[in-house]
Amino acid sequence: MNTPKIAITAFSSISPLGNNADQVWEKYLDNNHCFTKQFLDQQETSVAALDAESKQIVVEIRESDIKYKFLDDSVLFALAASRKAIENAGWNSNDIFGINIGSSRGATDLFEKHYKEYLETGKAQTLASPTTTLGNISSWIAHDLQSAGPEISHSITCSTALHALLNGVAWLKSGMADKFLVGGSEAPLTDFTIGQMRALKIYSRMDQDIDLWPNLAFDFKKTQNTMILGEGAAVCCLEAGEKENAIAYVIGVGYATEILEHNISISAEADCFQKSMKMALKDIDLESVDAIVMHAPGTIKGDLTELRAIEKVFGSNSPLLTTNKWKIGHTFGASGMLSLELALLMLQNDIFIETPFSESKKQDKSIKRVLVNAVGFGGNAVSILIEKA
């Protein structure tokens, strides 16, 4: 059976970088990070929140329909990104396309508010259940876009968005669909969520007034964990076959899961990443891979084990390595698709976007192929190889 090429025909995001592709490009080149301070859990906490323009877009969507007034930010973020993506792809309500947009934690803020109210009053609000279920995101996207295709939601922690892409590729290659909208959304900037990360001792304790870079993702000399949470959503439009409007093609996908030693474990050489990268790179000349966008959350172990996995797969001749979490934080379920955004920017502009504080190889050739990694708690790794259209 001939399997079709998988084209990425549009991409859209809403994040601390904004929601305009040109602005995103400019802001990536700007070495200033997107972190702000919020008063959470009785102290100032570094977070990566949406910029003012993006927040206004979310407010306008919420106020545009009485039904949207009661939705969680994670749904509204996804709505904003999805509307723009299908517009850029030229899809309309007559097109039949699938939707798979997941989230690590789902309706975080809304769930916490409803539960707090229940503890205080002993009663739950009428819409508490339908607005906090995991399928809530894709269902509302399907309603908003008037889609007639399948709608799927899932949570596979921080690799959620790239698992959505995996699923979209599977549907397209099977011939069960011609188009799929895939991605992830996350709105985790709440006291309780950040408190959980602090309890794991992985949240950054660096002071922005003193330290230039609060999140040292991809800095292998750091002596403390520096993960910071961010919020946002990112989606891309996938289509089967070669397309004139393709911005890139998915030419390899890989996935793997580790045997757990404990709830958040990952092996010293990230066996799951080794397996997922090897699967994505099957029959691919390793020297043809020009760059890797690492998961690199900013934790000591997370960053280092992924680097060791890359060295195991590529040997001494590894591609250019980078990440975006030093700038926009870790957006949990949306992070893999925002990493894909960085990969697409490098392909489209033929420039390597490096981290400003790390020692890395310099670009010496055109960037035509980029590998993107993501992994979640429990060692659920995904690797996606894309090629310039």
Domain check: are 55 and 143 in the same one? yes
* Same domain, residue pair 264 and 168: no
Q: In this structure, what token pair is assigned to residue 237?
A: 């439009």
Please give the pLDDT value at position 261. 60
18 phi and psi angles, rounded to 5 deg: 105, -160
Within a domain: 308? yes
Domain-embedded: residue 1: no
3-state secondary structure 174-219: HCCCCEEEEEEEECCCCHHHHHHHHHCCCECCCCCCCCCCCCCCCC
Same domain for 262 and 318:
yes
The residue from 221, 240, 259 where one domain ends is 240
pLDDT beneath 70, residues of the chain: 1-2, 41-42, 260-268
What would the pLDDT profile of 9-26 be if each residue is shown by its tens digit? 999 999 999 998 888 999
Work out the burial of residue 20: count CB atoms within 10 Å of its CB; fewer than 13 is exposed, 13-18 middle, 19 or more buried: middle
Establish if 150 belongs to a structural domain: yes
Q: Which two tokens stand for residue 144?
A: 């908003």
Number of structural domains (the chain) is 2
Contact 381, 273 (CB under 8 A): yes
Is 93 part of a structural domain of the chain?
yes
DSSP code of residue 334: G
215 and 298, same structural domain?
no
- Which of 240, 270, 291 is the last residue before a domain boundary? 240
Per-residue pLDDT, 88: 95
Q: pLDDT tens, 192-210? A: 999 999 999 999 999 888 8
Q: Which of 192, 210, 240 is the last residue of a domain?
A: 240
Note whether 90 and 225 are same-domain residues.
yes
Q: How far is CA 201 from CA 196, 216, 268, in A?
A: 9, 15, 19
Residues 235 and 306 in one domain: no
Q: Which two tokens stand for residue 113?
A: 């508010």
Instruction: Give the structural domain span for 269.
Output: 251-388
3-state percent helix, strand, coil for the chain, nearest multiple of 5: 35, 20, 40
Give the pLDDT score at 267: 63
Which pLDDT does position 294 carry in this prediction? Answer: 97
Amino acid letter for position 78: A
CATH classification at residue 29 = 3.40.47.10
Residue 1 pLDDT: 46
- pLDDT score of 377: 78
Q: What sign has the CA pseudo-torsion 289, 357, 25, 225?
A: positive
**Is residue 14 a part of any domain in this protein?**
yes
* 266, 297 Cβ separation under 8 angstroms: no
- 270 and 224 assigned to the same domain: no
pTM higher than 0.75 for the full model? Answer: yes
Between CA 219 and CA 282 the distance in angstroms is: 29
Q: Domain check: are 234 and 256 in the same one?
A: no
Sign of CA dihedral 304, 309, 314, 320: negative
